[in-house]
């Protein structure tokens, strides 16, 4: 004979089982980033976490200590895939190195969503990123405007293996070559996104080219390193950066940095998880999700539409 207590206990047990089953059914989607140290990646994580809460999925976010650690990123990707996730987000440090692993994911029925930096393959079902070629072409146009359409400039790229590193460099260089014949690009150097290394490169460039009029850095770490290097060398150069973060914003407000291109990192993280959830459920997703970019400088840094895509 069932008592009221027995019935209540049975009901509670069923409720616990239902909760446990729901937890087991929760989609797991790891995101493997290019790094974790820059504020940009923290903003991407913020967007990913926002989407995870909205769609009721479990998301993890990790990346190597520096954006030069391709092998470390491959290890992280291998570990994430061994957990048999519902889908995976991946921002490649090397546009080709991870392709064999991504093929394994595809063969296992795990949808891959690329974010920020794609791969040289059609394996990803979607890529959520900035149009980096167009963004850096805008930076080149701003540089030409700020230096009067003539003079020597240099580029410090964060790498030349990822799609972001390649596309941002080519976008800037090709825009200068095609539309600004009075400007000479004297060097394209690689700083690895490292502030100290980029600062040393900036000082070396100034020593070799005392008439240098402008410098462009393709990411946050490179931009801050460039600003520091120019300050240490006592030079006067128009500096344009990429991304945001408190240090870059402070440099723009103080006049050390002429301006920068900002992406929409929160949007990148959000759209990556949104696309991964849809792909895991077999729903259609856009092949390329353009998350947008904006030019900001001292004149518009406080505007609402710009402030919304800047981050600390």
Q: What is the CATH number of domain 132-262?
A: 3.40.50.2300
Task: Give percent above pLDDT 90 in the chain.
Answer: 88
Both ends of the chain: CA-CA distance in Å?
Answer: 64
Would you say 184 and 217 are in contact if contact means Cβ atoms under 8 Å apart? no
pLDDT per residue as tens digits for the range 161-172: 999 999 999 999
For the chain, the average pLDDT equals: 92
Q: DSSP 3-state helix, strand, coil percentages of the chain (rounded to 5)?
A: 50, 20, 35
pLDDT per residue as tens digits for the range 255-308: 999 999 999 999 999 999 999 999 999 999 999 999 999 999 999 999 999 999
Residue 116's pLDDT is 95
Is residue 131 scored above 60 in pLDDT? yes
CA nearest 237: which of 209, 195, 198?
209
pTM of the predicted protein model: 0.84
Is residue 7 scored above 60 in pLDDT? no
CA nearest 175: which of 145, 212, 130, 202?
145
Question: Across residues 62-77, what is the average pLDDT?
Answer: 95
Phi, psi (degrees; rounded to nearest 5) at 124:
-60, 135
At the topology level, CATH places domain 4-130+265-291 in Rossmann fold (3.40.50)
Same fold across 4-130+265-291 and 132-262: yes
Domain borders along the chain are 4-130+265-291, 132-262
Question: Across residues 195-203, what is the average pLDDT?
Answer: 98
């Amino acid at each position: 004979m069932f008592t009221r207590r027995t019935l209540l206990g049975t009901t509670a047990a069923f409720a616990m089982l239902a909760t446990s089953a729901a937890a087991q059914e929760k989609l797991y989607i790891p995101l493997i980033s290019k790094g974790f140290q820059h504020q940009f990646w923290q903003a991407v994580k913020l967007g990913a976490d926002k989407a995870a809460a909205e769609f009721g999925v479990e998301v993890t976010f990790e990346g190597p200590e520096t954006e030069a650690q391709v092998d470390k990123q491959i290890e992280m990707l291998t570990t994430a895939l061994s957990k048999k996730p519902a889908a995976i987000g991946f921002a490649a440090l090397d546009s080709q190195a991870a392709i064999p692993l991504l093929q394994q994911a595809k063969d296992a029925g795990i949808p891959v969503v690329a974010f920020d930096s794609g791969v040289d393959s059609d394996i990803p079902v979607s890529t959520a990123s900035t149009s980096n070629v167009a963004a850096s072409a805008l930076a080149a146009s701003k540089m030409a405007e700020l230096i009067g359409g003539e003079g020597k400039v240099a580029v410090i790229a964060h790498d030349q293996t990822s799609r972001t590193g390649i596309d941002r460099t080519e976008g800037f260089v090709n825009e200068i070559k095609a539309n600004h014949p009075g400007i000479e690009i004297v060097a394209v150097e690689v700083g690895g996104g490292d502030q100290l290394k980029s600062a040393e490169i900036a000082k070396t460039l100034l020593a070799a080219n005392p008439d240098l009029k402008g410098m462009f850095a393709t990411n946050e770490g490179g931009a801050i390193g460039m600003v520091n290097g120019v300050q240490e060398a006592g030079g006067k150069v128009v500096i344009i950066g990429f991304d945001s973060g408190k240090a870059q914003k402070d440099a723009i407000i103080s006049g050390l940095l002429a301006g920068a291109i900002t992406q929409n990192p929160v949007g990148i993280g959000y759209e990556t998880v949104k696309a991964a959830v849809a792909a895991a459920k077999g729903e259609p997703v856009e092949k390329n999700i353009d998350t947008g970019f904006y030019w900001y400088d001292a004149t518009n840094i406080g505007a609402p539409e710009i402030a919304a895509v800047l981050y600390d």
